[in-house]
Structures are given as C-alpha cells and as structure tokens.
Amino acid sequence: LSQDELKKIAAYKAVEFVESGMVLGLGTGSTAKHAIDRIGELLQQGKLANIVGIPTSTITHEQALSLGIPLSDLDNHPVLDLAIDGADEVDPDMNLVKGRGGSLLREKMIEGCCKKFVVIVDESKLVDYVGGSGLAMPVEIVPFCWKFTAHKLQSLFAEAGCDAKLRISPQNGKPYVTDNGNFIIDLYFKKDIGDLKAAGDAILRLAGVVEHGMFIDMATTLIVAGELGVTVWIG
Ligand code: DER
C-alpha cells in the first residue's frame, strides 16, 4: 500500500467517530484532506447531517467550501465536539510535531478546544522522540527581526545540536508567510531535547515567538495505518 493509501485508510477510520450535529475541527494536510473529502461524501449521501466545520487553514476552508460543508469559526463555536488532523511526528506518549504544512497556530487554537482530538497518521510518522525524524519542528514567529528570533531559538537548543532555518516558499523563493501573516523558523534537532513541556515553555517565552509545533498532551485518540492494518490508540 502506498503512503497515501495508508493516509486514506486512517482518515476514513477517523470519520467513523463523526456523528450528525457535531461541530468539527477540520485539519490541514494530505491526511486530513482525505477525512474532509469523506465527510463531504457522507453529507452528500445524507448519511451525515447538521455538521459545522471549523477549518484550520485557508486551504482547508476552500476544500470544505467546495464540498458543501457548512463552516464557522471559534468565535461562534468556542467548544468543538471533535477535531481530525494529521501530524508530522508522533512520539510514544502521543505528543505530536505539527506544522510542516504551515498551519500550526490555527490547528493548535482549534484542536485545543475539542472534546476529542483524533490524530490520523501512516506508520512512517511514528518516532522514538520529538525531532527524531530529523525533520523540522516548526515555530511560528513575527517577521520583525526574524534573524534575532531564529538565533535565540537555535541557542535555546544548542545542546541538541539545533539548526534553525527560515522557511522559504518554494513558489517564489521568498520567506513563507502563514495564514496569519507570520514567518516560520524550522528547528532541526540532532538528538532528544528531553522535557518537551519545558522546551515549549522556553520557546514561548521568546517575545518574537507566536507558537510552536509541539502538540503536547493534546491528542485524545491516535489512528495509525500500517502495512499490517489500522491501530486505534485511546490516550
Ligand atoms: O502541517 C500540519 O500540521 C499537517 O497536519 C501535518 O502535520 C500533516 O501533514 P500530512 O498529513 O500531509 O502528512
């Protein structure tokens, strides 16, 4: 099975948790896209009704709109029944790295207000520790003096051999700009950064930082699709 087929299997399994009348957080990324497509399909078939979607990005907003999923926002729905979203990494304690798609701020705001947060991944996302994939742990920062903030972030994790890189948009070679008008610094760790809560708090104490991509103690349910089948973990 391809990675995308595994993502689709995990996404469809998560949609089994969706009931008519729910207010849903709609995630961002290629795995969440499958879940949103499935919700749209079930609405079309009349198998789901009275769903309100709270999108975590403009791209998800557009996808949901095109599927006829009624949309709203946190101002009107400060408590959600369920959110479904992918992740870039999942550690053994169900802590996540998210944000390689650039939507971490709105994802964290919305997924922090849900009674149930279902994370959907293919097995390639499982890591021994956050940063263990050697891929980015994103931090959303204000554009003002971004080099200063990037250096502060790199210094915070010097012991972990941290490398901090400004995310560049592949479309135009300029700094990537989030839906919120901010920049992203991608942090790369060469070893385990240890206490995630302490690391996250230290990151947030930097004045130029808006939010980081570690979602600690937030996921309530994890669905992993692998070659041997689908596993559902209840946190
Ligand atoms: O950017 C994000 O937070 C995405 O949800 C990401 O974590 C998962 O993206 P994928 O489903 O395309 O792998």
pLDDT computed for residue 47 by the predictor? 98
Q: How far does residue 24's CA lie from ligand 1's centre (Å)?
A: 17
d(C-alpha 129, C-alpha 120), whole Å: 18
In the chain, count H helices and then E strands.
Answer: 6, 13
Give the nearest ligand 1 atom to 33 CA: 11
Q: For residue 235, name the pLDDT band (cuts at 50, 70, 90).
A: confident
Give φ, ψ of 76 to 5 degrees: -95, -20
pLDDT computed for residue 146 by the predictor? 98
The answer to whether the CB of 182 falls within 8 A of the CB of 141 is yes
Q: Is the CB of 101 under 6 A from ligand 1?
A: yes
**pLDDT tens digit sequence for 44-95:** 999 999 999 999 999 999 999 999 999 999 999 999 999 999 999 999 999 9
d(C-alpha 37, C-alpha 33), whole Å: 6
Question: Hey, whose CA ends up nearest to atom 4 of ligand 1?
Answer: 29
**pLDDT tens digit sequence for 134-148:** 999 999 999 999 999
Helix (H, G, I), strand (E, B) or coil at 29: coil
**pLDDT tens digit sequence for 149-183:** 999 999 999 999 999 999 999 999 999 999 999 99
Catalytic residues: 107
**pLDDT tens digit sequence for 15-49:** 999 999 999 999 999 999 999 999 999 999 999 99
The model scores a pTM over 0.80: yes
Give the nearest ligand 1 atom to 122 CA: 13
d(C-alpha 129, C-alpha 196), whole Å: 10
Helix then strand then coil, % of the chain, to nearest 5: 30, 25, 45
The answer to whether the CB of 221 falls within 8 A of the CB of 233 is yes
ipTM: 0.97
Q: For residue 216, name the pLDDT band (cuts at 50, 70, 90).
A: very high
Sheet containing strand 80-85, strands side by side? 52-55, 23-26, 80-85, 114-122, 221-226, 229-234
Say which range, 49-53, 116-120, 123-127, 132-136, has the weakest mean pLDDT: 132-136
Residue 232 sits at the vertex; the CA angle it makes with 230 and 235, to the nearest 5 degrees, is: 155
Does the pLDDT at position 102 exceed 90?
A: yes
d(C-alpha 72, C-alpha 61), whole Å: 10
d(C-alpha 38, C-alpha 12), whole Å: 7
Give φ, ψ of 232 to 5 degrees: -110, 120
Q: Is the CB of 138 under 6 A from ligand 1?
A: no
Token pair in block for residue 217: 């103690």
